[in-house]
A and B are shown apart, each in its own frame.
Chain A
Amino acid sequence: MSTRGDLAAVGARHGLAHALQGLRAIVVRELLKFVQQTGRLVSALVRPLLWLAVFGAGFRSAAGPAAEAPYLQPVPYDVYIAPGLVGMVLLFNGMQSSLSMVYDREMGLMRLLLTAPLPRPWLLFGKLCATALLSALQALAFVALALLLGTQLPVFGWGGLHALVALVAGALMLGALGLLLSVHIRQLENFAGTMNFVIFPMYFLSTALYPLSRLKASGAEWVYQVARLNPFTHTVEWIRFALYGQDPGAAPWIVLGCLAVFFALACWGYDPQRGFGQLAKRGG
């Protein structure tokens, strides 16, 4: 049907070019907003650096050096926890993205995004890419600072490249988790619950701070079992094993599998049939 509307749409890109332009717009917007929020970058770096400098030094003697795979020889505690702290940066930024989504929803910006003439999963994928890019950049900034502080990490070489792949995959997986959580967080005020029930349990019930074998040896069986099932554990282990050129086993498959599941559930949560993000169960 030829209409005035069809004529008016002339000049706009279609297909892949349009999709990529939309994706770029979403990513650039998040980057621009991040650049304007210098405090966010500072807090994202101060948190793991405090852990590295304070806990790394404090627990060095108490915990002792780890001497199991992937390490070929005992390593200082700060070296052991560095991949976990990279994971911490990814985890916090992934959850921060859910906060940003809820903020956008409360400000009405999500409506604008979701009424764009692009498939909704693609729009959500754009959000996910933006989150992952910001997470990865912050994590790399942390690694650079850790190296400057004297933490010896084998980041140069193939191991470093593999670790970068793991880092990006982990950023995507945790970003997808944030996206999924944003479906269920109805108000910004509920974000404290995310901290208590998602971030802290995921972080502490993982291998970020201590190896799985120690959890088992100490008799904390349930903690050991939960940590084994925790996808965050596998993100950290993938980064850790990749860094030292070791086979990460099933960790990549678990991380990528969780990424697929979390993203699919987020898309389902934002399906128009369900409203968007459990929102607006009202008429008017």
Chain B
Amino acid sequence: MIASAPSADPPARPGDALRAAAAGSGAAAPVLRVSGLTKRYGERVALASLDLALASGQFTALLGPNGAGKSTLFQVLTGLFAADAGDVEVAGHSLRHGAAAALRHIGVVFQQIALDLDLSIRRNLLFHADLHGLPRRLALERIAADCARLGVEPDLERPVRELSGGNRRKVELVRAGLHRPAVLLMDEATVGLDPKSRRDLLAALREDVRERGVCVLWATHWVEEAEAADRVLVLHQGRLLADGTPFEVTAALGGATLEQGFIARTSGPGEGGAR
């Protein structure tokens, strides 16, 4: 369905339930709520009064072409930039009025790999654990368990510089989840990865969603990644173009496939931000 035209149907499928949460019906308490979020860079509007509500235990793909506003949204959600208007609530904490409390519940993997290449995996992860106030013993336990789960435990003492791109991403995923956040933000995290590493990363995330009830917001411009999500948000020129299950979004975009509809609705003049 098109996000700007809410349905009157009763919630029956995942997309419906989440939209109901967004509307505040109480069907599922949103763990991430974005209200009227607006961000401008000079004259250019990167986010135009965006509203979102994401619930726990859902894998949501944020699909958008380059310049759609995905990275800006992530920068605002992580407190790197302040929005010009609107607010973000994470687990009930306002980013505008209590950034530290809100950021405790967010884990993030940025598009650019952000690890200290000179330090070992363990040192990188301990640094993050300390920044989040994890007691040392708890941090070491989680590092050992999470690295074992993703298969990077044998490399714990190796400098990150010596790791492959896929393993670096796995370390970033471990780091993002080390403080057990309620929300995981993944900004085009599979860019540059080989197919196996992409599959492994997505499988690990799926496990986090299923077993820990994490809310994952996965920004991508790979339609095939979005097709496997519980819910798809299509962002274009800073506005939400469509919101629902992959099936619903495909229908709403009017293409035979999600990819066709996405390309048809997001190609053409005026890309790079709303005006």
Contact = CB atoms under 8 A, between A and B. Distances in A.
Interface string A116-156: 11110000000000000000000000000000000000000
B30 to A, nearest CB: 9
A62 interface: no
B105 A8 contact: yes
Nearest to B65: A284
B7 to A, nearest CB: 26
Contacts of B114: 107-109, 111-112
Contacts of A118: 100, 131
Interface residues of A, number: 45
B56 interface: yes
B4 interface: no
A114 B128 contact: no
A211 to B, nearest CB: 43
Contact of A12 (B79, B133, B213): B133
A213 interface: no
A4 B215 CA distance: 10
Given A9-B105, A116-B132, A117-B101, A108 B113 contact: yes
B79 A119 contact: no
Contacts of B216: none
B162 interface: no
Contacts of B78: 111, 115
Contacts of A9: 104-105, 179-180
Nearest to B116: A109
Contacts of B138: 11
A10 B99 CA distance: 18
11 contacts: A3-B182, A4-B213, A5-B105, A13-B133, A29-B123, A33-B118, A111-B110, A112-B114, A117-B99, A283-B44, A283-B47
Interface stretch (B69-77, B145-153, B259-267): B69-77
A157 B159 CA distance: 44
Interface in B120-167: 123, 126-128, 130-135, 138
Contacts of A220: none
B193 interface: no
A280 interface: yes
A33 B119 contact: yes
B133 A21 contact: yes
Nearest to B219: A284
Contact of A8 (B115, B127, B133, B182): B182
Interface string A22-39: 101110010011001000
Interface of B: 29, 31, 39, 41-42, 44, 46-47, 56, 66-72, 75, 78-82, 90-92, 99-106, 108, 110, 112-119, 123, 126-128, 130-135, 138, 179-183, 212-213, 238, 272-273
Contacts of A6: 91-92, 105, 182
The 7 closest A-B pairs by CB, nearest first: A5-B182, A5-B91, A1-B92, A108-B114, A25-B130, A283-B46, A18-B133
A96 to B, nearest CB: 15
Most buried by A among B44, B91, B117, B131: B131
Given A3-B182, A11-B135, A283-B72, A272 B128 contact: no
Contacts of A191: none
Contact of B127 (A4, A11, A13, A29): A29
Interface string A64-78: 000000000000000
Nearest to B103: A117
Contact of B66 (A3, A29, A108, A284): A284
B79 A283 contact: no
A257 to B, nearest CB: 29
Nearest to A24: B130
A216 interface: no
A170 B270 CA distance: 52
Contacts of A25: 126-127, 130-131
Given A17-B133, A108-B114, A116-B132, A29 B238 contact: no
Contacts of A33: 116, 118-119
B123 A12 contact: no
A283 B80 contact: no
A281 B213 CA distance: 35
Nearest to B104: A117
A111 B111 CA distance: 11
A201 interface: no
A282 B72 CA distance: 8
Nearest to A13: B133
